[in-house]
A = this chain, B = another copy of it.
Amino acid sequence: MNAVHAASATPSRAQARRGEGNRLREEILAAATRLLIETGDEDAVSIRAIARAVGVTPPAIYLHFADKDELMLAMSEQQFAEFDAGVEAAGRTTTDPVESLRRRAHAYARFGLDNPEHYRILFMGRVSTRDPARLPGRAAFDHLVDAVARGVTAGAFPSDLDPFLAAVGLWTAVHGLTSALISMPRFPWPDVETILDHVCAVHLRG
């Protein structure tokens, strides 16, 4: 008999103060991320569903994002930054450049398996036709090339090794495993750590 029953229509949050325009923006991105994780379906992350989750009406979204594409792109960039930071942190836990690459690979795969829907968007989605100049994952890849190059200068790899080519090979191998695990969970996979270490061993030898 009280107002709580009308919850779906009543806004559940107070209007932001003057300078706090970014508060809702961040709440929107957080809600989008949460929705993606909970539903496990990119299609379920709609403007309307996000607005519902935040406790705001759909048009309020447009106060902070020009359209849906821009919202999704912003979420991707946020996720890419988090992914990159995680892999970099894992790589810094040792000074041995080869072991460092191995730990990066494990952190990479773990991110994918822990956040399969975000992994899909970041690495398996369609390129947004939006802004061709903005290649979102590029920074993360460049960091991998740097890590390989450090291995070369440290003498762990042959000096004529092309760090870019080696990085491509390592990346596609780890990505192949990660994305296959995500897309085909019912396949009778052998132990993940075992395959991953095998992949690393193969690639970090030549």
Contact = CB atoms under 8 A, between A and B. Distances in A.
A165 B191 CA distance: 10
A127 B165 contact: no
A141 B137 CA distance: 31
Stoichiometry (number of copies): 2
A198 B169 contact: yes
B168 A172 contact: no
Nearest to A135: B186
Q: Give the dominant DSSP class at A's interface.
A: helix
Given A124-B183, A137-B184, A176-B177, 15 more contacts: A123-B184, A124-B124, A124-B179, A126-B183, A127-B183, A165-B198, A168-B195, A169-B195, A172-B173, A172-B177, A173-B176, A173-B199, A175-B179, A202-B203, A202-B206
Contact of A176 (B141, B172, B184, B202): B172
8 contacts: A165-B195, A165-B198, A169-B195, A172-B173, A172-B176, A172-B195, A173-B173, A176-B176
A125 interface: yes
Contacts of A195: 165, 168-169, 172
A187 B137 CA distance: 10
A202 B168 CA distance: 14
A137 B164 CA distance: 33
A165 B190 contact: yes
A125 B176 contact: no
A127 to B, nearest CB: 6
Counting chain B CB atoms within 10 Å of each CB, which of A124, A127, A171, A172 scores highest?
A172
A127 B202 contact: no
Nearest to A184: B127
